[in-house]
Amino acid sequence: MKKSQIILFILALLIWTFLAWPPDPQHLIIGILVSGFVSFMTGDMFVKRPHLFKHISRYLWFLYYIPLFIWECIKANIDVAYRVVHPDLPINPGIVKVKTTLKSDTGLTFLANSITLTPGTMSVDIDEENGFLYIHWINVRDKDMQKATEIIVKVFEDILRRIFE
Amino acid sequence: MNETIGMFFIIVGLTFDFFGCLGLIRLPDVYNRLQASTKCVTLGTCSILLGLFLFKGFTAAGIKAILCILFIILTAPVSAHALARGAHKSGVKLWGKSVCDKYAEDKGVNS
Amino acid sequence: MRRLRYFIGLIIIILIFGVIIFYPLPSLLEWQSVLLKRCFSILFFCALFCLWRIIKGPTPADRAVAIDILGILVLGFCAILGIPTGRDWYIDIGIAWALQSFISTLALAKYLEGRNFDE
């Protein structure tokens, strides 16, 4: 067993235990068999860099990331509700291009998800080689690449680099 | 006490769901509709599931509600992203009063 | 003129919801379950809006967006149904529906993108 397979086994067993919640021996035995089979078959497809799971500071930064994300999400919802209910529809849409410095797949996925759930922005496409993100913005404040990067990406990029890079 | 807080969360979630579907009707363009409906309906349904968790406590249904919240937060933005990319590649234009479209400019140069 | 139409529509919507939710006032003992059953109508109207967008939508992308949103709304239906009836297996239906809806949305997006599945 490699290290990534053991991590995948633990994750699968945890999700199985939550799905069959009051834990009893029958369900646990079946869960151990099934998740062992799954982690043996898929190998290291999901967990590419298992050495990152050892650092404690990444978990702490992740705990700091969750309340920030929830707060931005609530702000986004109130913003969208205001724009929808207003009689004149105060929108000013457009697709802008921003630059990011994250490299890993997981980091880019989390960055795109966070951008989609924060106020007024939605990611349309990712150019992985050059690190460009194309973003649909419901209220374009600046067409320039540098200033748009400062407004949209800077909120999450530092924290996500500390977690996933 | 828990049940009253759960009722509050469920009513907030229903309100946001309604605003999201109103945005699906009123906004003028595929991308704007996708933005409004994805944000509002995702947070609204998460709030309803949190209310269910407060009603049921740590039983089987409550734990499954927490798993559902995690699943929705991870997958709803991914499906919105895929739909926006597919719509742009299939040739849906932006709204007439849009400001700029950098994506079409770059793709036009490349292809 | 446009603003007048907007306000008339807003007043009609608020009146409909007020009548549905508050008309026979529930007694103080069982107000929670009665209110939950009546709040169901809001989700019903949301699903009706999605169906309107599926029928009317000018491009195929609009219809795909409405189907995606309808899939998440059904999860909300299942979650609320579990409370006043007291049956726990509704949330199981919700989990299965959410998985199915996510995969079908990805397939629809792939179909919109280039009409070939192997890339």
Sorted by where each begins, the domain ranges of chain C are 2-114
Chain B CB contacts of C83 under 8 Å are 52, 55
Mean pLDDT of chain B: 84
Given a cut of 70, the residues of chain A with pLDDT beneath it are 1
What tokens were used for A100?
């990011």
Express each pLDDT in A74-99 by its tens digit. 888 888 888 888 887 777 888 888 88
What tokens were used for A43?
């190998």
What tokens were used for A122?
């939605």
Where are the domains positioned within chain B?
A: 2-110
Q: With 60 as the cut, is the pLDDT of residue C38 above it? A: yes
A74 vs A65: CA distance, rounded Å:
15
**Per DSSP, which regions of B1-111 are E strands?**
none
Using CA coordinates, name the residue in chain B closest to C99. B71
Neighbours of chain A (3+ CB pairs under 8 A): B, C
Chain B CB contacts of A125 under 8 Å are 85, 88, 103
Distances (CA, A) of A48 to A8, A103, C12: 11, 14, 56
Smallest Cα distance from C40 to chain A, Å: 21
Query: Could you tell me which of A118, A138, A139 has the C-alpha nearest to residue A74?
Result: A118
Smallest Cα distance from C96 to chain B, Å: 10
Strand order through the sheet with A121-127: A94-99, A132-137, A121-127
Q: What is the DSSP letter of A140?
A: -
Smallest Cα distance from B102 to chain C, Å: 19
- Between positions 23 and 52 of B, the ones with CB within 8 A of A are 23, 26-29, 31-32, 34-36, 38-40, 42-43
Q: With 60 as the cut, is the pLDDT of residue B6 above it? A: yes
Strands A132-137 and A121-127: antiparallel
- At B111 the pLDDT is 44
Query: Could you tell me which of C36, C49, C19 has the C-alpha nearest to residue B13?
Result: C36
- At C103 the pLDDT is 92
- pLDDT band of C115, cuts 50, 70, 90: low
